[in-house]
A and B are shown apart, each in its own frame.
Chain A
Amino acid sequence: MASVSLSEAEKVYIVHGVQEDLRVDGRGCEDYRCVEVETDVVSNTSGSARVKLGHTDILVGVKAEMGTPKLEKPNEGYLEFFVDCSANATPEFEGRGGDDLGTEIANTLYRIFNNKSSVDLKSLCISPREHCWILYVDVLLLECDGNLFDTICIAVKAALFNTRIPRVRVLEDEEGSKDIELSDDPYDCIRLSVENVPCIVTLCKIGYRHVVDATLQEEACSLASLLVSVTSTGVVTCMRKTGKRVGKVLHASLQSVLHKEESLGPKRQKVGFLG
């Protein structure tokens, strides 16, 4: 992740400020920065959106292409995500520097959308087992100023809202071979319902409190962060934790104690309830 280096005193200032609910730019712990959303910014895509959250700038383009459905889901289309961390955002992303972050974000997006209700995949099917719509969602990071996941998810939702998929009809002639006919009218298209597309909320733990929408400096002071993707009705679709390995430490300690108990053999003194 793009990061800034801060001196001890600067970090102490930020942490104390968060404790008192007054962050460096005057926001409270639960306040977002102002968001600007604009759709239909790229002309040769099926749908696009650009979202600016403070200085974080994300551009998403969606292209709908015809292809064959996956073997295990023959009645559905699917989405493919690709994230490009361009060197425009920060010099760290030069060359292959941004690839790790890009794959991490793409994997998170796959997990968020990996459920039955986020996007109605059955509506993307043209003819079962033969043709379906594949939506290629490309995310481009133009500028990075903290809180990437939230912004990317807002942009993806806006781009999917803006996506126009051409209406097609399947014609079957006497021999049984199918023909796909695209309608002549360029405005005759179907739109996706994005009601259940989730949005991500990232909570960063700073000191004893959590903040929403952390800037780069605040992310540098945070110990751990929790990413929750939640739909408009409050249903949680995915959760991810980054930071201190409390979970891993818990498992490692439990494992070592269980092994120790086993190594004592059958002759170990059992304490039970009467000990």
Chain B
Amino acid sequence: MAMEMRLPVARKPLSESVGRDTKKHLVVPGDTITTDTGFMRGHGTYMGEEKLIASVAGSVERVNKLICVKALKTRYNGEVGDIVVGRITERRRSAEDELAMRGFLQEVDLISAEVQAVFSDGAVSLHTRSLKYGKLGQGVLVQVSPSLVKRQKTHFHDLPCGASVILGNNGFIWIYPTPEHKEEDAGGFTANLEPVSLADREVISRLRNCIVLLVTQRVMLYDTSILYCYEASLPHQIKDLLKPEIMEEVVMETRQRLLEQEG
């Protein structure tokens, strides 16, 4: 039986704890980025009155002659080839659909899919034309901001700690127990409802808390950062991981290891 009440503590600014040398150039919509017209404008900018103006709130990134603004917090914008995890909210009700799909996918189910095409109004069309996509079984869903999911070659990771994770580009992260053997014939549409073992559950809960921790401290999510955070969190109890002091400690250690790995 644990009950803890505390007084709120103001958050420390990030630059103090990280010790960055180069300060990021932060802008808000309407800010002038530069008056030099030699640059090409990228995402998040527009040209107005011979100045380059930001259209989103974020940090300015410059690659040679290209200037773009990377937003800190955005709605998900689909790109072809992205992996997404989604929940079915509505479906077409036609006769063939009833016969064919309802046996496999119901409303409220979670699926993993790939973006096939993007329409001009921003809507995306998805496909599950591979055995690795399809209905998701038992596991935990964590919703984060899409801007924190790093773009990588693969978004399906089998972590060595004993669970697997799908990092959806839309910010939906799915943590699930690693399947014992790859089921070739099932094709991913029949869910396994047997109880998951306690050891697997602990790993999944710990991963879930680690991801929430990283998101609160605005660290990019990818397999290495999640793994380092998991290892840094091992000395603590799973339910203690969301306490502010332990959170800071674990994130500092994770950031340290990530910096060492880069450098």
Asked if A and B bind, the verdict is yes
User: Which residues of A are interface residues toward B (Cβ below 8 A)?
Assistant: 5-10, 12-13, 16-17, 19-20, 22-28, 30-38, 52
Known contacts A32-B2, A35-B5; A24/B108 CB under 8 A: no
Query: Is B123 on the interface with A (CB-CB < 8 A)?
Result: no
In the bound complex, do residue A13 and residue B209 qualify as a contact, i.e. CB atoms below 8 Å apart?
A: no
In the bound complex, do residue B139 and residue A26 qualify as a contact, i.e. CB atoms below 8 Å apart?
A: no
In the bound complex, do residue B242 and residue A34 qualify as a contact, i.e. CB atoms below 8 Å apart?
A: yes
Query: Is B208 on the interface with A (CB-CB < 8 A)?
Result: yes
Known contacts A8-B193, A20-B201, A25-B205; A35/B110 CB under 8 A: no
Query: Is B163 on the interface with A (CB-CB < 8 A)?
Result: no
Size of chain B's interface in residues, with CB distance under 8 A?
A: 39
Known contacts A20-B198, A31-B2, A38-B7; A25/B239 CB under 8 A: yes
Query: Is B116 on the interface with A (CB-CB < 8 A)?
Result: no
* Cβ 8 A contact of A26, one of B7, B193, B196, B209: B209
Q: Distance (Å) between the CB of B203 and the closest chain A CB?
A: 11
Known contacts A16-B196, A35-B4; A9/B136 CB under 8 A: yes
How far, in angstroms, from A24 to B211 measured CA to CA in the complex?
13
User: Which residues of B are interface residues toward A (Cβ below 8 A)?
Assistant: 1-8, 87, 89, 106-110, 136-141, 191-193, 195-196, 198, 201-202, 205-206, 208-209, 237-239, 241-243
Known contacts A7-B110, A8-B193; A26/B138 CB under 8 A: no
Contacts of B6 in A (CB 8 A): 34-37
Q: Which 8 A-B pairs have the closest CB atoms?
A: A26-B238, A13-B138, A26-B205, A26-B239, A31-B2, A30-B1, A16-B195, A9-B191
24 contacts between A and B (CB under 8 A): A6-B108, A7-B87, A7-B136, A9-B137, A9-B138, A12-B138, A12-B193, A13-B139, A16-B195, A16-B196, A17-B201, A19-B195, A22-B201, A24-B205, A25-B209, A25-B238, A26-B202, A26-B237, A32-B2, A32-B4, A33-B242, A34-B6, A36-B5, A36-B6
How far, in angstroms, from A19 to B198 measured CA to CA in the complex?
11
How far, in angstroms, from A17 to B208 measured CA to CA in the complex?
14
In the bound complex, do residue A8 and residue B239 qualify as a contact, i.e. CB atoms below 8 Å apart?
A: no
A5: nearest chain-B partner, CB-CB: B108
In the bound complex, do residue B198 and residue A22 qualify as a contact, i.e. CB atoms below 8 Å apart?
A: yes
Q: Distance (Å) between the CB of A232 and the closest chain B CB?
A: 13
In the bound complex, do residue B2 and residue A10 qualify as a contact, i.e. CB atoms below 8 Å apart?
A: no
Q: Distance (Å) between the CB of A3 and the closest chain B CB?
A: 11
